[in-house]
Structure 1
Amino acid sequence: MLTPTLFRSLFLGGFECSTHRRHDGRRLDLIAATGHDRWAAEDYRGMLRHGIRTVRDGVRWHLIETAPGRYDWSSFLPMLRAARELDVQVIWDLCHYGFPDGIDVWRPQFVDRFARFAGAVARLVREETDAVPFFCPVNEIAYWSWAGGDRAMMNPNAEGRGWELKHQLVRAAIAGIEAVRDADPRARFVHVDPVIHVAARPERPEDQGEAAAYTRAQYQSWDMTAGELWPGLGGRPELLDVIGVNHYSDNQWFLGGGTIGRGDPHHKPFRAILADVWERFGRPILVAETGAEGDARVPWLEYVTGEVLAAVEAGVPVEGICLYPILDYPGWANERHCPVGLLGYCGEDGQRPVHRPLAEALRRLQHRIETRRLQTLRVA
């Protein structure tokens, strides 16, 4: 039965905290754009009202490190203290695509600066709270490498350098982990990347090998962190902790394009993807991001939860499911209202409308899981 041992609730809430520069140079800050920076305490209370006691949230490096080695904590301390006062457990993203201006991501100084920053965050967190801290060192290394290193969609806006960027981000993550552990040996880490499935088109069976290789590539940043791939980067097995898997409805596609929907015979059940991750790494798993837009929110959460329960019953240790983003947000490219959250845009008083169908589905699923857990305990 799904009984988390690391997190305080089965369902988590993820606050969109991207801070990258787009291809046109504009800096995004989704914590500010959603009003979460001003209303963090009220947002955390909103999570508690829905039985969510653990969240993912972000530390905005570009706001904090105002000059090399000089840290202004004013954007972070109110969030950290609100979480402490409300007893909300947080997985803090240390680098969610964004970094301070003036750092060249391709140079060794990027790794050094990030490590010092990560260590400084860990020391501050330890000063402010006695709880065992959780961090995501560098969010979605695989996606960032593709979007920023191959497709010039975000910083560093490069093309054809995705493999190089992946190496550099893994170096930074490893250095960050070591710096955090120096500051607080209790710290735990969630290594977050998308999980995918790529299939050959039915009319092109000769592409099956290439499609399988593309699918296997999803593991590269985790393999590098564990030292199984490119060990010269400094990876070691003890650096790989909780595996955070992100999965959405468009994470499966045919080689060359075309999403594989759930009704397609080439669709791979999410339970099987989770089992593959467990078999390969043998680490606890968190569904670190999942969600859908509009009316698809409820059926998608029901599907993912059912698949996670099936995986757990088959022996896969899934620690929880993070609804992401938990707040509606303005789209990266055009600022359109993306209705994805359990909670909507906030008013001047910090209050947010609740998406009732999703709230009711969440309550049903929580009750269902708790009922099955109690039945299992009685049988035992």
Structure 2
Amino acid sequence: MLFSSYFLGGFECTTGFNREGDWIDLIEETGHLRHADADYRRLCEVGIRAVRDGIRWPLVDKGRGGFDFSSVEPLVRAARRYKVDVVWDLFHFGYPAGLDLLSATFVSRFAEYCAACARYLRRRLQGTLWFTPVNEPSYFSWVAGEVGRFAPYITGRHHEFKVALARAAIAGIDAIRARVPDARFLNADPLCHVAPRNERPASLSEARVFNDDQVFESWDMLCGRTLPELGGSRAHLDVVGINYYWNSQWELGQEGEWLDDEDPRRVPLRDLIRSVHARYGGELIISETSHWGVHRARWLRELADEVDGLFDASVPLGGICIYPIIGMFDWHRPRPWMPMGLWDCDSKRGMRRLVHRPMLDALAFAQERFSRTGMALPPAQLAPRILV
């Protein structure tokens, strides 16, 4: 295993300005910073000893080379206390005010920030340091650089935006390795698949370009497969992080309406993951996955079936991150609660955690199943206090 447990828990850490221009900060809104110690403890009690968590660039970077990591300290203390492995997201959509993401200053400032994060964490944590420099560059380049639904509200420039994010990620990785040579990197991006609208050649070709090329553009840049002048290499790509949700397959041109589970055009997840491994080799993990509401437990059980098929095919899938492990508020107005992950929150009682029992049972089922292959810890003996 890459981490201390096969399953990871991902804490939603989006910051930034949404499509209405509202500032959002999911670490604050879900109470994760206040409850960091208890959140990490609960995960350990259910056999999860690795997480994805966030360092919020807009809060830490004070400009002119000044950094304030007080907003990270509760997370570091919890990780150290419970001996939890952490993959630190460094740029999860939010960035310092006034910074132009299409400028050379963006790259140099991001590299300086990455170096500061590496120095700070190395002084406080032992063992391997893990980072996700730029979270979901393909999605962010679309939502913020093509359709303008997140700051900086750019439209029609998604490829230019994607190149800028790749350049920054490579510079950030280099800056981290200069301070922590043995650091590891999980580069997480969505793995999507579209079905053609019809059997006409133009529709078939458009779908093929998306599925065979566009989905992989950011990873290709990071590993130097395309635009080698950016300085990418396979070592920069390191571990490929696959973000895959229930809505990751849709009909071409119908974004927002995913293919039904019974739709024969859906491609099995195991086949999609095999295609990633065939393209890049090396280690990979499912870095984000979940469903919502009553669908959560079924999703995890079906995921276990898909992963079993990968074990049989000797694909080195090094982990599965349930993301978010605690539900979240929607990014945009109106902002309803999204019942996802292992715990929901009671907003009337200080964001008190409420376990979703069917999901907990599904997790124990998957842990038991994978423990027989040696890929996961057996399910933990559940204590009553994990229910809240």
Query: Fold conserved (TM > 0.5)?
Result: yes
State the distance in 1 between where 2:224 and 2:335 align: 40
Q: Name the counterpart of 2:383.
A: none
- Offset of residue 86 of structure 1: 1.1
Task: Report whether the alignment pairs 1:231 with 2:231.
Answer: no
Q: Name the counterpart of 2:321.
A: 322
Structure 2 residue corresponding to 1:166, chosen from 162, 166, 169:
162
User: What whole-Å deviation, never above 9, does each CA across 1:243-265 have from its counterpart, x for those lacking one?
Assistant: 00001111111112152223111
State the distance in 2 between where 1:352 and 1:145 align: 33
Query: What letter corresponds to residue 274 of structure 1 in structure 2?
Result: I
Sort the Cα spacing of 1:103 and 1:153 in 2 relative to 1 into closer, same or farther, 3 A: same
Q: Give the TM-score normalised by the residue count of structure 1.
A: 0.94
User: What whole-Å deviation, never above 9, does each CA across 1:81-138 have from its counterpart, x for those lacking one?
Assistant: 2111110110000100111112111111111111000011011111001111000010
Q: Name the counterpart of 1:256.
A: 253
State the distance in 1 between where 2:351 and 2:43 align: 14
Q: Name the counterpart of 1:287.
A: 286
- Offset of residue 313 of structure 1: 1.3
Query: What letter corresponds to residue 369 of structure 2 in structure 1?
Result: R
Structure 2 residue corresponding to 1:58, chosen from 51, 54, 61:
54
Once superposed, which parts of structure 1, at least 4 consecutive aligned residues long, lie more than 3 Å away?
202-206, 346-351
Q: Which moved more, 1:208-217 or 1:194-203?
A: 194-203
Runs of 5+ in structure 2 lacking a partner? 376-388
Task: Report SS of the residue matched to 2:32.
Answer: coil
Q: Name the counterpart of 2:336.
A: 336
State the distance in 1 between where 2:73 and 2:291 align: 31
State the distance in 2 between where 1:244 and 1:293 align: 21
C-alpha RMSD of matched pairs (Å): 1.5
Task: Report whether the alignment pairs 1:222 with 2:223.
Answer: no
Task: Report whether the alignment pairs 1:197 with 2:190.
Answer: no
State the distance in 2 between where 1:238 and 1:15 align: 26
Task: Report whether the alignment pairs 1:23 with 2:22.
Answer: no
Contact 2:50 2:85 in 1 (8 A): yes
Q: Name the counterpart of 1:271.
A: 270
Query: What letter corresponds to residue 34 of structure 2 in structure 1?
Result: R
Q: Which moved more, 1:229-238 or 1:209-218?
A: 229-238
Runs of 5+ in structure 1 lacking a partner? 375-380
Q: How does 1:143-158 map to 2 (within 5 A)?
A: 143-158=139-154
Task: Report whether the alignment pairs 1:367 with 2:368.
Answer: yes
Structure 2 residue corresponding to 1:111, chosen from 89, 107, 112:
107
Q: Name the counterpart of 1:182.
A: 178
Contact 1:21 1:98 in 2 (8 A): yes
- Offset of residue 353 of structure 1: 1.1
Query: What letter corresponds to residue 142 of structure 1 in structure 2?
Result: S
Contact 1:65 1:100 in 2 (8 A): yes
Contact 2:198 2:204 in 1 (8 A): no
Query: What letter corresponds to residue 199 of structure 1 in structure 2?
Result: A
- Offset of residue 205 of structure 1: 5.4
Task: Report SS of the residue matched to 2:70.
Answer: helix
Contact 1:254 1:260 in 2 (8 A): yes
Q: Give the TM-score normalised by the residue count of structure 2.
A: 0.92
Q: Name the counterpart of 1:74.
A: 70
- Offset of residue 266 of structure 1: 1.0
